[in-house]
Chains A and B, each alone.
Chain A
């Protein structure tokens, strides 16, 4: 019995929306989640239901996010500079009261400093909960490439956290970018 689009939407709407919202903010998440599922809906008969759904959907989402990498970088830089989470600030006002924490700004700066392709692999792993194999399927990359990118991304990310953690949040903008 094949998976229906409705079932797929129900199961994956929140993970996809949350992933995009975290990367690009709530407004962009509205648009890109709709576009992700619109693409999925149009291609639904191409989806091989014997394969896992999530990598396929996140592959679509990743392609859409890729076009907006400058926006993502700006958002992370803004977060790093101000300590105010842009993704939250435009979202539910109930949650605006969540205080911006210096360590989150640090994290944003560390993410901003990653190469685009490293960030993509790292966030698919950490935020979309995809395994290495699933990331490879999502991005149509060899498994070895994914493993090495992920390993490099984590190493660089950890190094940046250690490095940035020693400076004031207000100075984070001086950290170089390699996008």
Chain B
């Protein structure tokens, strides 16, 4: 037994893995969607009797004049009627595009459009989620929610699925409340909360859900709802459309973290051997600083799509950097190569290229041939949100390439174009 009790405890603490990005994202959403922060300002102390009288008068006045009171077929009832009564909730949403495909030869850009389609059967908590980008099926998941519809856990579990599982329950139970009248794209809408993270915007004329929003920092992020309808059960709605292996959901999303080297003590080199690709010793004013092999180990549950599925993937990391004296990182940068990215917020002067053998794995597998797909991270600086690190995905010479850079898209494109096989 060690005598240094604190050191012993700290080692014990350090054994736990860091939470993954999806956990982080869900917790952020949960934390920020439960309630709005109180505004700063002087708090007036109102005598409690006067406050109670005021509240009572206001409630009576609202009940007398409001078009959404529960007793006169008001807003919530109309919203519920607009959704329908079938056992299966069918949702189609347009997820905000955050990618652009750029043709390597012509430079032509095509913005990605992503859709999520959900069928949720409330009788058995079963759902199917299909996610498409452009015309490509990215994921197809059939599963069961383990939480009661509308429960807090169900809401927190999945931002998008919660619209299918929680919204109607909130309308039925009366927990949905009007929080704001608004105009969006020239249409009058009502924002309702309850049952989903953030709020659901319903059209003021049809009472159908048309938007979902949640707060990210000081801004709202909007998702357009193309369809939200309770329909009859049809077995065909719960049949898989895509290959079984091409499956992911928020709990079993592919995770392939690069955060260790096969030989961390090895001296970093700048030599690249075949079959790996290099952009040369200098590119776009950036110098090749280090070349480091890495491995990704996969467990039985941690990697749910991508074929083949070896236990171990060997890859190579190339770090390019400005010609400064700043030392280049000697170990691979921590990145979830095969999974969703948490918004990269840290700034780095280095451009990193990751190379792994090609498989059948998004996002590379859905990038058009001879193209690179860019995703841009956003960073909040003061009150402004600015694009910072970007990620580029492409396939080349039997390899999946990921470019992670603080440089411009043009520089990333130049790097992608110049990648070539190294001499043996």
| Interface residue B138 (Cβ < 8 Å from any Cβ of A) | no
* Closest B residue to A47 using CB positions: B37
Q: Contact mask B281-311 → A, CB, 8 Å, 1/0?
A: 0000000000000000111111000000000
* Closest A residue to B8 using CB positions: A107
If the complex has contacts A30-B27, A45-B40, are A14 and B12 also in contact, measured as CB distance less than 8 A?
no
Q: Contact mask A139-160 → B, CB, 8 Å, 1/0?
A: 0000000000000001001100
Query: For the complex, what is the distance from the CA of A9 to the CA of B131, rounded to whole Å?
Result: 29
If the complex has contacts A87-B16, A94-B302, A104-B12, are A6 and B217 also in contact, measured as CB distance less than 8 A?
yes
| Interface residue B64 (Cβ < 8 Å from any Cβ of A) | no
| Interface residue A177 (Cβ < 8 Å from any Cβ of B) | no
Interface-central residue, B3, B30, B300, by most chain A CB under 10 Å:
B30
For residues 49 through 103 of chain B, which have their beta carbon under 8 Å from a beta carbon of chain A? none
If the complex has contacts A34-B156, A158-B3, are A4 and B380 also in contact, measured as CB distance less than 8 A?
yes
A161 and B16 contacting across the interface, CB-CB below 8 Å? no
User: Which of B32, B38, B217, B301 is the one whose CB lies under 8 Å from A45?
Assistant: B38
User: Which of A14, A46, A103 is the one whose CB lies under 8 Å from B19?
Assistant: A14
Q: Contact mask A1-39 → B, CB, 8 Å, 1/0?
A: 100111101100110011101100010011001101110
Q: Contact mask B1-42 → A, CB, 8 Å, 1/0?
A: 111011011101101111110011011101110110111100
A92 and B13 contacting across the interface, CB-CB below 8 Å? no
| Interface residue B345 (Cβ < 8 Å from any Cβ of A) | yes
Closest-CB distance, A89 to chain B (whole angstroms)? 11
Q: Cβ of B345: which chain A residues have Cβ within 8 Å of it?
A: 10
Q: Cβ of B300: which chain A residues have Cβ within 8 Å of it?
A: 93
User: Which of A30, A95, A126, A161 is the one whose CB lies under 8 Å from B17?
Assistant: A95
Q: Per DSSP, are chain B's interface residues mostly helix, strand or loop, or mixed?
A: loop
B5 and A41 contacting across the interface, CB-CB below 8 Å? no
A93 and B302 contacting across the interface, CB-CB below 8 Å? yes
| Interface residue A53 (Cβ < 8 Å from any Cβ of B) | no
Closest-CB distance, B58 to chain A (whole angstroms)? 23
B217 and A5 contacting across the interface, CB-CB below 8 Å? yes
| Interface residue A64 (Cβ < 8 Å from any Cβ of B) | no
* Closest A residue to B24 using CB positions: A13
| Interface residue A106 (Cβ < 8 Å from any Cβ of B) | yes
For residues 193 through 217 of chain B, which have their beta carbon under 8 Å from a beta carbon of chain A? 216-217
* Closest B residue to A39 using CB positions: B31
User: Which of B2, B3, B28, B38 is the one whose CB lies under 8 Å from A9?
Assistant: B28
A42 and B5 contacting across the interface, CB-CB below 8 Å? no
Closest-CB distance, B249 to chain A (whole angstroms)? 16
Query: For the complex, what is the distance from the CA of A45 to the CA of B40, rounded to whole Å?
Result: 6
Closest-CB distance, A13 to chain B (whole angstroms)? 6
Closest-CB distance, B35 to chain A (whole angstroms)? 5
Q: Cβ of B13: which chain A residues have Cβ within 8 Å of it?
A: 18-19, 22, 126-127
Query: For the complex, what is the distance from the CA of A158 to the CA of B299, rounded to whole Å?
Result: 37
Query: For the complex, what is the distance from the CA of A18 to the CA of B1, rounded to whole Å?
Result: 24
Query: For the complex, what is the distance from the CA of A41 to the CA of B37, rounded to whole Å?
Result: 6
A161 and B8 contacting across the interface, CB-CB below 8 Å? yes
A92 and B27 contacting across the interface, CB-CB below 8 Å? no
B15 and A88 contacting across the interface, CB-CB below 8 Å? yes
For residues 121 through 175 of chain A, which have their beta carbon under 8 Å from a beta carbon of chain B? 122-123, 125-127, 154, 157-158, 161-162, 164-165
B1 and A88 contacting across the interface, CB-CB below 8 Å? no
User: Which of A13, A42, A92, A107 is the one whose CB lies under 8 Å from B9?
Assistant: A107
Closest 7 CB pairs of A and B: A165-B1, A37-B31, A93-B299, A126-B9, A34-B30, A44-B37, A38-B31
Can you identify 10 A-B contacts, CB atoms within 8 angstroms? Answer: A4-B380, A13-B19, A13-B27, A13-B28, A14-B18, A34-B156, A43-B37, A95-B17, A123-B9, A161-B8
Other CB < 8 Å A-B pairs besides A6-B216, A22-B16, A37-B32, 12 of them?
A17-B19, A21-B16, A29-B19, A37-B30, A38-B30, A46-B38, A93-B300, A94-B302, A95-B15, A95-B17, A106-B1, A161-B8
